[in-house]
Amino acid sequence: MSRRLIPIHRGHLVSDPFNFLRQEIDRLFESSSSVQGIRPEFEVKENKDGIQLTAELPGISEKDIEVSLAEGILTISGEKKSEDIKDGETYHIAERSYGTFTRSIKLPYEPEEKKISASFKDGVLRLVIPRPEKSKPNIHKILIQKP
């Protein structure tokens, strides 16, 4: 039994039809405006002092962003508002996404809310979440003695 290659629209051949199907389904969901919506991209780094979170929120005003913390879950939500259409204007291409978004992450420790700092500049939200003293690793090195 010979294995047939499946041609795809880009002029390539695919030898694994299941992988091809998965990629095409992923591509369909990524390009669908009803599924895509707004999903800010996060970058979360941790060191001994705490967590630094950066969220890209282009085109969103600072007043339309809300950051909250409840039971160790940090939530960032907001809205990207569309521009008003004026009389006599017609869209020829409309590819930008508008609407509300919410993203939550579970923090590895319960931070002290009053010590969390946030800043917003050029469409980038930055949060610094210090690690509380009680959750800082208490490492005590034990010296190995020679007999």
The continuous run of DSSP H or E covering 35 comes out as helix 33-36
pLDDT interval class at 140 (50, 70, 90): confident
Write the DSSP string, 97-128.
--EEEEEEEE-SS---GGG-EEEEETTEEEEE
pLDDT interval class at 15 (50, 70, 90): low
- What pLDDT, in 10s, does the model give residues 16-75? 777 777 777 877 766 544 445 688 899 999 998 999 999 999 989 999 999 999 998 999
Query: What global pTM score does this model have?
Result: 0.64
Distance CA 117, CA 127 (A): 6
Contact 65, 121 (CB under 8 A): no
Range of the domain at 107: 40-132
Instruction: Look up residue 17 and give its amino acid.
Output: P
Domain count of the fold of the chain: 1
Contact 92, 27 (CB under 8 A): no
Is residue 14 included in any domain, yes or no? no
Distance CA 56, CA 61 (A): 12
Is residue 97 included in any domain, yes or no? yes
For residues 74-110, one letter each, b for 16 or more C-beta atoms within 10 angstroms of the residue's C-beta and e for the rest, the string is: bebebbbeeeeeeeeeeeeeeeeeeeebeeeeebeee
Is residue 102 included in any domain, yes or no? yes
Is residue 109 included in any domain, yes or no? yes
- What pLDDT, in 10s, does the model give residues 85-107? 788 888 888 788 888 999 999 99
pLDDT at residue number 32: 47
The answer on pLDDT for 12 being more than 90 is no
Written as six digits, the tokens of 46 are 């941790």
Is residue 82 included in any domain, yes or no? yes
Instruction: State the CATH number of the domain containing residue 85.
Output: 2.60.40.790
Written as six digits, the tokens of 144 are 């190995």
